[in-house]
Structure 1
Amino acid sequence: MKKRFLTFSLFSLLTMGVMAQVANVSPIPQSVTTTGTFFEAPKQWRITSDRARTSSYALTAVSELGVELTPRAKFRVTLGVVGDKSVSKVQKLVPEKAEGYYMAVGPKGIVIAGRDERGLYYGVQTLRRMAAKGKLETCTLQDWPDVPFRGAIEGFYGQPWSHEHRLRQLDFYGHNKMNVYIYGPKDDPYHRDHWRDPYPTREAQQLQELNERAKLRGVNFYWAIHPGVDIKWNDEDRQNLVQKLERMYGLGIRSFAVFFDDIWGEGAKGEKQAALLNYVDSVFVKKHGDIAPLLLCPTEYNRAWSRNDSPYLAALGNGLNKGIEVMWTGNSVVHTIDKEGMEWINQRIKRKGYIWFNFPVNDFVRDHILLGPTYGNGLDIADDLSGFVSNPMQYAESSKIALFSIADYTWNMKHYDWKASWRRAIIDLLPSDSIALLTFASYNEDLGPNGHGFRRDESRQLEALEKRIKAVADGEVDREAVQELSQTCFELGTACDLLLNNTENPWLINELRPWLVQGKLIAQYGGVVCKAARYVNQITAVDAATYNPDDLYTFYSLYRQAQSLRKQMYENEVDKHQLHTYQTGTKLATLRLMPMLDRLMSRVCRNHGYEPISAYAPFTIESNVGQLRQLPISLYGGEAKITPSNEVIKWPAGAQFTIVGDRPFTLTGMDFNLGVNEIAGKFRLDCLLEDGTWKTVSILHYKPTDPVIHTGNELSGLTVKAFRLTNISGADVECYFRHFKFNKQ
């Protein structure tokens, strides 16, 4: 039962860490030996370390633990790195792994010895977690990360993170032992479209501040440049690239990436990319001597876009200097990573792949916010990776649920438990209302239908109930199942109310607000549906003529209330004042809860002789262009928008993209952007008229330099049943799908 699920979850969440303070540590340590005895964490600590650690960011982290640091304290905390006198007695116990550390905790004091500076810092972070509840546990730890480079890449399309959000992210990465942040937002013009130009003073200062915060948190701040859209393969642009990197070096940045993703044409040549990266490696990286290995995001960055004998990947594998890392998203653009897939790519690039994991990014399903667990990646691939970074959402705070688990997974892969990690992530993000957030998050896991075909399970606790609701025959009601469903909706509504009033993390609540409001409406709708299903006094459509408006407890009233709530849900989805930038709607609970409610309401309506209530979906897509076939359509009043596809579209000769209406509709306008100037002549737009004939409508660009395609005047006022766009060029066309919208009466 749902109630039992939540009670169990509450018990699990509240008791985690009671049995052992070391259980509070995230990521999970590699090796722990504990006596199981506890003591109160002293209020005053004395720090002992070599003079070489005086300016260590690990010591700065100790000062942030909330204890009084005084040389007179009896409780001694000894800190050092292998080679320091302070930890010479224990240095043989320090794991011989980069970023590893040894830690011993007892009533008389604590010793933390790092293999290197970052290892020492991570030991302090373990201490921070362990002491969070005011107690310490007598124990020893030997700990190290499984994956060398771990973290996140701000590489999504849409609204980039704010400066404040980035600072908060860097703090979060440090606390969770992630050592990489890659700055590569697609909508930063100085990263991509104007890559040759220097940053304005304010933006440059902010990048400098981010880099300094990253160093304080043990994070490599990677600045990425994307020259591939318009690079000229000549000496001038080679120097432009190096000059831009030198400017960023002048800001203190010491880690760099070069991107060639989502392009085609000359910029996509493997041999030229390899030669350019090698040039940068020799005249820039090796010249300075203090720069991290270069990172390349290739054009063929997933297996679905490549082939077994790919000349592009061979050019990278054979041509790139050793030490240059190559990014990879897996078997497709959005995919989990497994052993076989890693072996496939590593053989071709002749080095360990650096994973760009496209989760929880939602720039291709912007009406969903993804708060579910991180699962599906192999637990046996640590030795096959050079790095693993997550591409998050434009919602920085909400992305921390998945990023917390990415930190867990990449640190100690063999012991990764995605369910436990998800729950710990939620406690970490919102301790005061973790049960409410867990409940709400369970309805925001699946992505819905999308162009990448990537789906997630959702609200697993409802699986048995879903089967029971489906099994009931028409004309019958499983009252116990309906009662359980009603309780489920009540709990969702309660969770939304609690979160809407939460002040502990306003950054998070601000991001979630549109979905929280929608969740409340869904919960109310569910309550009404369950009341209607239990209602005994049957009132038929004929009886409605004698309906008493003062009687709010008839089926007729419940039916009208359900209609009202569905309308409110629709209006909430299309209210642009409630939506975040680039957001296209607010969908949640779409995999199990809403289908259950709609199925039950339809059955009850039929029993009472009423028309079923359902969401209105007037348009569908039919296409033999695989990347476009599953794109969602959003309807805002008279304007319909198709969710953009962010990658390069390979549109075969003669292939079509068709929009079909469920009934004839009158067009008043249309425009679309395929991301290429003067491409309109390669396509034809046809409209299917009511009499079954097709009419061609002219399409054109207003300016040669404007990629937006408009329609001729003959479109306006045309009543059609469908329209289609066909590639008539006689050859395959590579383009984008930046936007596509049409208006109807």
Structure 2
Amino acid sequence: MKARTLFTLALLWASATLSAQSFSDINPTPQQITADKAGKTIAWPLEARLSASSKTLSSLAGQELSQRVRHHAKARTEILLGIRGDKAIRRYTNKIPKHSEGYFLSIEPQRIVLAGHDEAGLRYAVRSLLEAEHEGQLPCGSIVDYPDVRWRGVVEGFYGTPWSHEARLSQLRFYGRNKLNVYIYGPKDDPYHSVPNWRRPYPEVEGQQIRTLVEEAKRNGVTFYWAIHPGQDIKWTAEDRDLLLHKFELMYQLGVRGFAVFFDDISGEGTKADKQAELLNYINREFVHRKGDVAPLVMCPTEYNKSWSRIEKGYLPTLGRELDPDIEIMWTGNRVVACIDKPDMQWINGHIKRRAYIWFNFPVSDFVRNHMLLGATYGNSLEIAEDLSGFLSNPMEHAEASKIALYSIADYIWNMKSYDSQRSWERSIVSLAGAQSSALRCLAEHSSDLGANGHLFRREESSELKDLLGRIERGSEVSLNDLRTLGDECLKLERSANILLSSRDNPALIAELAPWLRMARLIGRYGQEVISLEAAREAKPKAFAEIHAHILSLLEQMYEIDSSENQNPYQPGVRLATLRLLPALDATFARSVAAYNQAHGTQLSSATRYLPCSLSSDVAQLSGLALSSRGKQITISPSNEVIRWASGATLELQAVEPLELKSLEFDLGTKDIAPSFTLEVEQGGQWIALPLMQRAGKTLLRADIAPMKAGRWTRLRLRQTTATELQVYFKSWRLVH
């Protein structure tokens, strides 16, 4: 009897666990789940009596369900399918949330109810039903669900290599699965979206691809927006206005039913708020409203974050006052790259006289292209659902890897109060990597921080070993067991990299990650050897020398990957584990070698990574830019945004040891700007001015190093010398020493 009771309890526990697990597989997290108290489940009905109107059965929701369930008039299970007002689900009307895109889902033995507030809600009910299925079983219970935010999705608005056509198709299917309903096509490097060809039609091949994307978006319940970026050379004339409207008409003929106009990252005539408002209102009234089937017009302003806003000059208040109230205004937060908080939303909404439409610059990496951002999405307020009209993520150029963050962003903006960033991150990795999720999680744990950057935006990394790695880097005493823990993690990282490199489950993901996986494999091996080196330091001098030689070879291989892979012109190379793991390993290596050299009178090298100078600036947008050194060349990472360089503000390099100066060239993206700056080097305690040379009509500046005395410099500074703030760019910096 006792055995039978235990067996029954075990079955009930297993059934309840299955029920909970199945509902927990649904992304985004539903607003309200009522699971069956006994944990009942039913088998997935391969056949069912589908009770729905012919219109419903032919809808996107009906078609998706019919692909998994065959209609059979005598089937035991009945599936009721419909939207508010339909006869089939009328008895459940009171259970349907009165909320756009809301739905009610009920799963009982022999009856499943799928009731949407509207067509989108019905489709989401079907999507949740499909996600609830686990190993052929469905949990009994019900869901009442709806989104917190009306417009949810992605803006492909990054600089760099645009996504491929295949990647975009995959993204649109991903959005459908995760209840995202907006995709804005706006890659900065598409010449027909921006300068120089925004006035011209797409060539036939590219136009047909956009038509295909629009059709795929529609199949997945996603509104496809096409954005234009005309501000850099627009003329506020009827001719340019009509050319823009004609371009929209051409896109409309390709099937586009959502339109956006971007005025971000520009300077000059195109930044005038009154002219922007006049143009947008004309488009809104003469195109959007007249068409009747077009989604709300979206605009990205020039002052799209608080740190750039000049309220006293009236840009944002002008938009708020003059722009039609149904035009959406995008906003990135307190800075270009920032998490969104309640006070920020209250501030911007007050100025633009509407709820802001958030452009969240994460996981975009176009300003740290040597990093792969695979960490959790956290830091946004959970109390701002009522303050937003929309929330869109700007992703990485790595479409597949971006899905880790996009999965969680979909979760966050659907149900903020229930959002758990760590849990969502864990689920996103399982969703993307399946059987290899443990390996991907290990990589992602050490590939989440952005490193030094001009936006001063950082993320946690190697958090599970945070305390240990911090103690090691600070030089605190650590135990042998601590070192074993560190060695085990490095072994895990190496194994994870090898597992993923040989995986065939998601070829697109592995292709994107490959350079970082090769680097992770070397870092993992390097870490294990560093631990072995410390263990051999006192007892095994011969082994120490052999391990040391191997470590130097690993460091050389790491340098080769960083110097040969992902060689984009902005932040070339491959960086991984730079926040905690590598600094701790480097510190351990340096201490071991120093102690060995002192004990044995040797001069073994402990060099790992070295920068010959440091950077500082009182221009906030420049102060965080990354400095890189390769051979005799020192470069500063460029910035994608307009730089506001105050009068008298400087950019300064300080050499660790005196350096030669063989050449210096930099590009501020502005013609005839040389007279506005002074370049100086410090030699022997004295500042020496170096003339700046700039060819007519060109933006590149070169330093004339002739005035330098023989010898080396210790400091170098570039100072803005006009009486007013200048708006320039920072496109490149290359110094050869």
Does TM-score exceed 0.5, indicating one fold? yes
Aligned twin of 1:446:
449
Higher mean displacement: 178-187 or 733-742: 733-742
Q: Tell me the amino acid that sits aligned with residue 589 of structure 1.
A: A
Q: What does the per-residue CA deviation read over 1:546-589, in whole Å, with 9 as the maximum and x for residues that have no partner? A: xxxxx5xx21222222222222211210114x557865111111
Which runs of no fewer than 5 residues in structure 2 stay unpaired? 1-15, 598-603
Residue 578 of structure 2 corresponds to residue 590 of structure 1:
yes
Aligned twin of 1:27:
28
Higher mean displacement: 386-395 or 528-537: 528-537
Aligned twin of 1:530:
531
Query: Following superposition of structure 1 onto structure 2, how do residues 414-453 of structure 1 map, counting pairs within 5 Å?
Result: 414-453=417-456
Q: Structure 2 length as normaliser, TM-score? A: 0.92
Question: Compared with structure 1, are the counterparts of its residues 373 and 242 closer, same or farther at alpha carbon in structure 2 (3 Å cutoff)?
Answer: same
Measured in 2, the distance between the counterparts of 1:228 and 1:139 equals 53
Higher mean displacement: 277-286 or 31-40: 31-40
Query: Following superposition of structure 1 onto structure 2, how do residues 141-180 of structure 1 map, counting pairs within 5 Å?
Result: 141-180=143-182
Aligned twin of 2:3:
none
Match of 2:721 among 724, 728, 738: 728
Aligned twin of 1:273:
276
Q: Is the 8 A contact 1:223 1:253 kept in 2?
A: yes
Q: Tell me the amino acid that sits aligned with residue 700 of structure 2.
A: V
SS of residue matched to 1:627: helix
Measured in 1, the distance between the counterparts of 2:447 and 2:211 equals 36
Question: Compared with structure 1, are the counterparts of its residues 70 and 725 closer, same or farther at alpha carbon in structure 2 (3 Å cutoff)?
Answer: farther
The alpha carbon displacement at 1:466 in A equals 2.6
Higher mean displacement: 17-26 or 388-397: 17-26
Measured in 2, the distance between the counterparts of 1:697 and 1:477 equals 53
| Percent of residue pairs identical | 45
Aligned twin of 1:345:
348
The alpha carbon displacement at 1:539 in A equals 7.1
Higher mean displacement: 621-630 or 280-289: 621-630
Residue 561 of structure 2 corresponds to residue 572 of structure 1:
yes
Q: Is the 8 A contact 1:573 1:585 kept in 2?
A: yes
The alpha carbon displacement at 1:472 in A equals 5.9
Over the residues paired in the alignment, what is the CA RMSD in angstroms?
2.4
Query: Following superposition of structure 1 onto structure 2, how do residues 62-461 of structure 1 map, counting pairs within 5 Å?
Result: 62-65=65-68, 68=70, 73-193=75-195, 194-307=197-310, 309=312, 311-461=314-464
Measured in 1, the distance between the counterparts of 2:17 and 2:321 equals 50
Measured in 2, the distance between the counterparts of 1:399 and 1:710 equals 39
Q: Is the 8 A contact 2:198 2:229 kept in 1?
A: yes
The alpha carbon displacement at 1:223 in A equals 0.8
Higher mean displacement: 98-107 or 689-698: 689-698
Match of 2:641 among 618, 637, 647: 647
The alpha carbon displacement at 1:684 in A equals 3.7
SS of residue matched to 2:614: strand
Q: What does the per-residue CA deviation read over 1:323-365, in whole Å, with 9 as the maximum and x for residues that have no partner? A: 1111111111111111111111111111111111111111111
Q: What does the per-residue CA deviation read over 1:295-347, in whole Å, with 9 as the maximum and x for residues that have no partner? A: 11111111111256551111011111111111111111111111111111111
Q: Is the 8 A contact 1:689 1:695 kept in 2?
A: no
Higher mean displacement: 189-198 or 637-646: 637-646
Q: What does the per-residue CA deviation read over 1:464-504, in whole Å, with 9 as the maximum and x for residues that have no partner? A: 3235535765xx66211111111111111111111111110
Q: Tell me the amino acid that sits aligned with residue 433 of structure 1.
A: Q
Measured in 1, the distance between the counterparts of 2:298 and 2:614 equals 41
Measured in 2, the distance between the counterparts of 1:694 and 1:716 equals 7
Q: What does the per-residue CA deviation read over 1:653-710, in whole Å, with 9 as the maximum and x for residues that have no partner? A: 2322233333344445443332223333433444445785525144213x62x43334
Q: Is the 8 A contact 1:46 1:75 kept in 2?
A: yes
Match of 1:631 among 625, 631, 636: 625
Aligned twin of 2:6:
none
The alpha carbon displacement at 1:538 in A equals 5.3
Aligned twin of 1:662:
656
Q: Is the 8 A contact 1:105 1:138 kept in 2?
A: yes
Q: Is the 8 A contact 1:186 1:192 kept in 2?
A: yes
Q: Is the 8 A contact 1:97 1:115 kept in 2?
A: yes
Measured in 1, the distance between the counterparts of 2:637 and 2:19 equals 47
Q: How many residues align?
A: 712
Q: Is the 8 A contact 1:256 1:295 kept in 2?
A: yes
The alpha carbon displacement at 1:601 in A equals 1.6
Measured in 2, the distance between the counterparts of 1:111 and 1:717 equals 84
Q: Is the 8 A contact 1:436 1:495 kept in 2?
A: yes
Q: Tell me the amino acid that sits aligned with residue 567 of structure 1.
A: E
Q: What does the per-residue CA deviation read over 1:190-229, in whole Å, with 9 as the maximum and x for residues that have no partner? A: 1110211111111111111111111111111111111111
SS of residue matched to 2:735: strand
Question: Compared with structure 1, are the counterparts of its residues 539 and 39 closer, same or farther at alpha carbon in structure 2 (3 Å cutoff)?
Answer: closer
SS of residue matched to 2:608: coil
Match of 1:683 among 671, 677, 683: 677
Measured in 1, the distance between the counterparts of 2:673 and 2:306 equals 28
Q: Is the 8 A contact 2:471 2:478 kept in 1?
A: no
Match of 1:600 among 568, 588, 593: 588
Q: Is the 8 A contact 2:682 2:688 kept in 1?
A: yes
Question: Compared with structure 1, are the counterparts of its residues 62 and 669 closer, same or farther at alpha carbon in structure 2 (3 Å cutoff)?
Answer: farther
Q: Tell me the amino acid that sits aligned with residue 699 of structure 2.
A: P
Question: Compared with structure 1, are the counterparts of its residues 718 and 198 closer, same or farther at alpha carbon in structure 2 (3 Å cutoff)?
Answer: farther
The alpha carbon displacement at 1:514 in A equals 0.8
The alpha carbon displacement at 1:42 in A equals 2.8
Which runs of no fewer than 5 residues in structure 1 stay unpaired? 1-14, 541-550
The alpha carbon displacement at 1:152 in A equals 0.8
Q: Structure 1 length as normaliser, TM-score? A: 0.91
Measured in 2, the distance between the counterparts of 1:718 and 1:522 equals 42
Measured in 2, the distance between the counterparts of 1:599 and 1:628 equals 29
Measured in 1, the distance between the counterparts of 2:639 and 2:18 equals 44
The alpha carbon displacement at 1:725 in A equals 2.8
Higher mean displacement: 637-646 or 361-370: 637-646
SS of residue matched to 1:736: strand
Q: What does the per-residue CA deviation read over 1:215-249, in whole Å, with 9 as the maximum and x for residues that have no partner? A: 11111111111111111112111112211111111
Aligned twin of 2:520:
519
Q: Tell me the amino acid that sits aligned with residue 625 of structure 1.
A: V
Measured in 2, the distance between the counterparts of 1:248 and 1:461 equals 49
Measured in 2, the distance between the counterparts of 1:17 and 1:712 equals 73
Measured in 1, the distance between the counterparts of 2:505 and 2:349 equals 45
Q: Is the 8 A contact 2:678 2:689 kept in 1?
A: no
Aligned twin of 1:500:
501
Q: What does the per-residue CA deviation read over 1:517-552, in whole Å, with 9 as the maximum and x for residues that have no partner? A: 111111111111111112254578xxxxxxxxxx5x
Measured in 2, the distance between the counterparts of 1:647 and 1:737 equals 8
Measured in 2, the distance between the counterparts of 1:695 and 1:683 equals 11
Question: Compared with structure 1, are the counterparts of its residues 692 and 663 closer, same or farther at alpha carbon in structure 2 (3 Å cutoff)?
Answer: farther
Higher mean displacement: 626-635 or 373-382: 626-635
Q: Is the 8 A contact 1:366 1:583 kept in 2?
A: yes
Q: Tell me the amino acid that sits aligned with residue 726 of structure 2.
A: V
Aligned twin of 1:674:
668
Q: What does the per-residue CA deviation read over 1:433-455, in whole Å, with 9 as the maximum and x for residues that have no partner? A: 11111111010111111111111
